[in-house]
Amino acid sequence: MPRWLSLLLFFVPVLAVMATAHVYLYRRLVRDQTARRGLRLGAQVLFGFGFLGAVGFRFLGGLFPSELGRIVGIGLLVWMGLVLYLLLFTLAVELVLRAVVRWRTRRTTPAPEPPAQPPSPERRAILTGGLAVGAGLAGAGVSTFGAWRAFHPPDVRDIPVRLPRLPRALDGFSLVQLTDIHIGDVLQRHFVDELVARTNALKPDVIAITGDLVDGSVESLGAYVAGFGALRARHGVFFVTGNHDYYSGASSWVAYLERLGITVLRNRAVDIGETGASFTLAGVDDWSAARMGEPGYDLDAALRGVNPDRASVLLAHQPSNFDEVARRGVGLQVSGHTHGGQMFPGNLMADAIWGQRNAGLSRTGDSHIYVSRGCGFVGPPMRVAAPPEIARLVLQPG
């Protein structure tokens, strides 16, 4: 399927849902609550601009000077998240109120008498006014928490992993994973420097960046990404591509990262450790790269020449194809991509799609896969029920 057609099939339903959500929220939270013309007109402007921003925030942000445009863009992205939670809470409260009214009607109306009269206009106004206030406060509260969590430094998660055939001399070997950072218009150099400092403080043996590092070109983001050149690990820093890196010009970014001293594993493997106490670290290009006209994911090339009697770890942006990876005898795959769903109810949807491979450690046969929720975010700058993380995998002999 051509890329333009797949994008069209994705964005048309999304735009329809967003338009419906904006109209519904305006009617329920504004039009039904006030007859004041000025308030209604102001809300129409706000919801109209918000909808335009939701579908074209990059263009609208570009109408303003650079820093102001960035702030406008962030505000429009926050609006997208706010609309989501306003919609969820408004629908939830309205459904509860309707259920309560039906229950009370059945309870207070003995058969076969006619149904009780509907609530008076005054009572209905109180109920709908309470709905608007309650949904607004709840939506704003969850959105505020989600934004705070997204910009707050990621938590460090320690995950012990038993790796088959790992030499005992490497017991306790630490691999720190950074993934889905999405440096771009929102997250910039300050976030990078803080992430690097927190990572280096862990004194890792290896650092693995498993894709979706950027959302933009080397020319626009290189000064921010340069901060990753300060990452330090005993056995080096490694990178594999993610789908967003291809949207941003993967070849240019690969060359730039290599100039920073970061080793890029494009369908190849290296040895980690010393003679007699080592394991294989392999990396593949993103699973979806071939759909963008790139050579793409090549597990055969990545594992070519790898000794099946040695411990092995595969870096792959997406959890896809892990069943085949496990069949090949790779002991551990380290991935990201899913964000753990990033924002409720996205986490529930991602669980339905990816199952155990949405987030955390899971196992197939003797092989493990760890899927990180990532360090950054994409779309609305919010994290709800899927906090960001720095994963420290502590390897143990299996």
Contact criterion met (CB below 8 Å) for 339 and 380: no
Q: Are residues 119 and 163 in the same domain?
A: no
Q: Tokens 């987030």 label which residue?
A: 359
Kind of pairing between the strands at 367-371 and 360-364: antiparallel
pLDDT, one tens digit per residue, over 284-334 is 999 999 888 888 999 999 999 899 999 999 999 999 999 999 999 999 999
Q: Are residues 383 and 306 in the same domain?
A: yes
Q: Are residues 164 and 117 in the same domain?
A: no
Q: What is the mean pLDDT of residues 150-173?
A: 96
Residue 15: helix, strand or coil by DSSP?
helix
Confidence of residue 118 (pLDDT cuts 50, 70, 90): low
Confidence of residue 111 (pLDDT cuts 50, 70, 90): low
For 213, phi and psi rounded to 5 degrees?
Answer: -75, -35
Q: Are residues 327 and 190 in the same domain?
A: yes
Total domains present in the chain: 2
What confidence score (pLDDT) does residue 353 get? 96
CATH of the domain at 196: 3.60.21.10
Q: What residues make up the domain containing 90? A: 3-150
pLDDT, one tens digit per residue, over 211-248 is 999 999 999 999 999 999 999 999 999 999 999 999 99
Q: Are residues 111 and 179 in the same domain?
A: no
Q: Are residues 196 and 255 in the same domain?
A: yes
Among 94, 126, 150, identify where a domain stops. Answer: 150
Q: Cα–Cα distance between 345 and 349 in angstroms, integer?
A: 7
Task: Pinpoint the alpha helices (H) of 152-284.
Answer: 189-200, 218-225, 243-247, 250-259
Q: Are residues 183 and 275 in the same domain?
A: yes
Mean model confidence pLDDT for the chain: 90
| Bridge partner residues of 183 (DSSP) | 214
Amino acid (one-letter) located at 80: M
Q: What is the mean pLDDT of residues 55-65?
A: 61
First CA to last CA distance, the chain? 43
Q: Tokens 């009269």 label which residue?
A: 117
Q: Cα–Cα distance between 391 and 398 in angstroms, integer?
A: 20
